[in-house]
Amino acid sequence: MIKLARKNAEESGYKNVEFRLGEIEHLPVADAVVDVIISNCVINLALEKQQVFNEAYRVLKPGGRISISDVVAIAEIPKSIKNDLTNLAGCIAGAEYVENIENMLKNSSFINIRMIPKDNSKDIIKNWVPGKNAEDFVASYIIEAQKEEIN
Protein backbone atom coordinates (compact mmCIF):
# COMPACT_ATOMS: atom_id res chain seq x y z
CA MET A 1 0.00 0.00 0.00
CA ILE A 2 2.81 2.40 0.94
CA LYS A 3 4.78 1.59 -2.21
CA LEU A 4 1.66 2.00 -4.34
CA ALA A 5 0.76 5.29 -2.64
CA ARG A 6 4.27 6.68 -3.20
CA LYS A 7 4.20 5.57 -6.83
CA ASN A 8 0.77 7.13 -7.41
CA ALA A 9 1.84 10.40 -5.76
CA GLU A 10 4.97 10.57 -7.88
CA GLU A 11 3.11 9.79 -11.10
CA SER A 12 0.48 12.42 -10.29
CA GLY A 13 3.10 15.03 -9.31
CA TYR A 14 1.92 15.48 -5.70
CA LYS A 15 4.84 17.01 -3.80
CA ASN A 16 3.02 17.91 -0.56
CA VAL A 17 2.20 14.38 0.61
CA GLU A 18 4.07 11.95 2.85
CA PHE A 19 3.34 8.28 3.59
CA ARG A 20 4.31 6.64 6.89
CA LEU A 21 4.11 2.95 7.66
CA GLY A 22 2.29 2.29 10.92
CA GLU A 23 -0.65 0.70 12.68
CA ILE A 24 -3.96 2.43 13.08
CA GLU A 25 -3.82 1.56 16.81
CA HIS A 26 -0.37 3.23 17.15
CA LEU A 27 -0.14 6.12 14.70
CA PRO A 28 3.39 7.28 13.85
CA VAL A 29 2.28 10.87 14.46
CA ALA A 30 2.89 13.40 17.27
CA ASP A 31 0.13 14.68 19.58
CA ALA A 32 -2.32 17.35 18.38
CA VAL A 33 -0.89 18.00 14.91
CA VAL A 34 -3.60 16.72 12.54
CA ASP A 35 -6.52 18.73 11.09
CA VAL A 36 -8.51 15.88 9.54
CA ILE A 37 -8.31 12.09 9.65
CA ILE A 38 -9.80 10.06 6.83
CA SER A 39 -9.90 6.28 6.65
CA ASN A 40 -11.60 3.84 4.31
CA CYS A 41 -12.40 0.35 5.47
CA VAL A 42 -9.58 -0.21 7.99
CA ILE A 43 -11.19 0.11 11.46
CA ASN A 44 -13.34 -3.02 11.02
CA LEU A 45 -10.04 -4.91 10.67
CA ALA A 46 -8.59 -3.53 13.91
CA LEU A 47 -8.90 -5.75 16.98
CA GLU A 48 -8.62 -2.86 19.46
CA LYS A 49 -11.17 -0.40 18.13
CA GLN A 50 -11.29 1.75 21.31
CA GLN A 51 -7.52 2.18 21.01
CA VAL A 52 -7.99 3.31 17.36
CA PHE A 53 -10.33 6.13 18.42
CA ASN A 54 -8.12 7.08 21.40
CA GLU A 55 -5.19 7.40 18.97
CA ALA A 56 -7.23 9.46 16.51
CA TYR A 57 -8.19 11.79 19.37
CA ARG A 58 -4.57 12.06 20.53
CA VAL A 59 -3.17 13.14 17.16
CA LEU A 60 -5.97 15.58 16.23
CA LYS A 61 -5.59 19.29 16.89
CA PRO A 62 -8.37 20.81 19.03
CA GLY A 63 -11.21 21.44 16.54
CA GLY A 64 -9.86 18.68 14.28
CA ARG A 65 -12.17 16.00 12.96
CA ILE A 66 -12.43 12.49 11.62
CA SER A 67 -14.42 11.46 8.56
CA ILE A 68 -14.36 7.72 8.11
CA SER A 69 -15.99 5.26 5.76
CA ASP A 70 -16.30 1.79 7.26
CA VAL A 71 -18.39 -1.33 7.64
CA VAL A 72 -20.42 -1.59 10.85
CA ALA A 73 -22.77 -4.23 12.27
CA ILE A 74 -26.50 -3.44 12.26
CA ALA A 75 -27.62 -6.85 13.57
CA GLU A 76 -25.97 -9.91 15.10
CA ILE A 77 -23.70 -11.41 12.44
CA PRO A 78 -24.40 -15.17 12.07
CA LYS A 79 -21.52 -17.49 13.01
CA SER A 80 -21.42 -18.87 9.45
CA ILE A 81 -20.37 -15.40 8.23
CA LYS A 82 -18.38 -14.32 11.33
CA ASN A 83 -16.18 -17.42 11.51
CA ASP A 84 -15.22 -17.36 7.84
CA LEU A 85 -11.71 -15.83 7.65
CA THR A 86 -12.39 -14.66 4.10
CA ASN A 87 -15.14 -12.46 5.52
CA LEU A 88 -12.75 -11.14 8.19
CA ALA A 89 -10.22 -10.12 5.53
CA GLY A 90 -13.15 -8.93 3.41
CA CYS A 91 -14.16 -6.24 5.98
CA ILE A 92 -17.40 -7.96 7.07
CA ALA A 93 -16.73 -10.28 10.02
CA GLY A 94 -14.84 -7.69 12.14
CA ALA A 95 -17.62 -5.10 11.93
CA GLU A 96 -18.63 -3.62 15.30
CA TYR A 97 -22.17 -2.53 16.25
CA VAL A 98 -23.01 1.07 15.28
CA GLU A 99 -23.97 1.83 18.90
CA ASN A 100 -20.65 0.45 20.20
CA ILE A 101 -18.67 2.58 17.73
CA GLU A 102 -20.61 5.64 18.85
CA ASN A 103 -19.90 4.81 22.51
CA MET A 104 -16.20 4.29 21.78
CA LEU A 105 -16.06 7.72 20.14
CA LYS A 106 -17.74 9.22 23.22
CA ASN A 107 -15.30 7.34 25.50
CA SER A 108 -12.44 8.94 23.56
CA SER A 109 -14.06 12.38 24.23
CA PHE A 110 -15.20 13.08 20.66
CA ILE A 111 -18.12 15.46 20.13
CA ASN A 112 -20.49 16.12 17.19
CA ILE A 113 -20.63 12.41 16.41
CA ARG A 114 -22.57 11.48 13.29
CA MET A 115 -23.17 7.93 12.07
CA ILE A 116 -24.57 8.08 8.53
CA PRO A 117 -25.59 4.97 6.56
CA LYS A 118 -24.64 5.15 2.89
CA ASP A 119 -27.57 5.09 0.45
CA ASN A 120 -25.98 2.36 -1.65
CA SER A 121 -24.84 0.26 1.34
CA LYS A 122 -26.97 -2.80 0.52
CA ASP A 123 -25.64 -2.93 -3.06
CA ILE A 124 -22.02 -2.58 -1.87
CA ILE A 125 -22.29 -5.42 0.68
CA LYS A 126 -24.31 -7.67 -1.65
CA ASN A 127 -21.52 -7.40 -4.22
CA TRP A 128 -18.86 -8.31 -1.64
CA VAL A 129 -20.65 -11.39 -0.26
CA PRO A 130 -23.15 -12.60 -2.82
CA GLY A 131 -25.90 -14.99 -1.72
CA LYS A 132 -25.31 -14.82 2.09
CA ASN A 133 -27.65 -11.93 2.97
CA ALA A 134 -24.69 -10.19 4.67
CA GLU A 135 -26.37 -6.86 3.83
CA ASP A 136 -28.95 -7.69 6.55
CA PHE A 137 -26.21 -7.76 9.22
CA VAL A 138 -23.61 -5.19 8.18
CA ALA A 139 -23.75 -1.80 6.48
CA SER A 140 -21.41 0.76 5.02
CA TYR A 141 -21.41 3.96 7.12
CA ILE A 142 -19.81 7.38 7.13
CA ILE A 143 -18.60 8.12 10.66
CA GLU A 144 -17.82 11.71 11.58
CA ALA A 145 -16.72 13.27 14.87
CA GLN A 146 -14.76 16.22 16.21
CA LYS A 147 -12.23 16.99 18.93
CA GLU A 148 -13.49 19.90 21.01
CA GLU A 149 -11.95 23.29 20.30
CA ILE A 150 -10.13 25.05 23.16
CA ASN A 151 -11.42 28.62 23.67
Contact residues for ligand SAM (CB under 6 A)? 1, 23-25, 40-42, 45-46, 91
- Rounded to a whole number of angstroms, the minimum distance from the CB of residue 150 to ligand SAM is 29
- Rounded to a whole number of angstroms, the minimum distance from the CB of residue 46 to ligand SAM is 5
Q: Is 57 helix (H, G, I), strand (E, B) or coil?
A: helix
Residue with smaller CB distance to ligand SAM, 4 or 150 = 4
Residue with smaller CB distance to ligand SAM, 30 or 150 = 30
Residue with smaller CB distance to ligand SAM, 28 or 130 = 28
Instruction: Name, in order, each residue with C-beta under 8 angstroms of 2's C-beta and a sequence gap of 6 or more.
Output: 19, 21
Helices (H), 83-137: 85-89, 98-107, 121-128
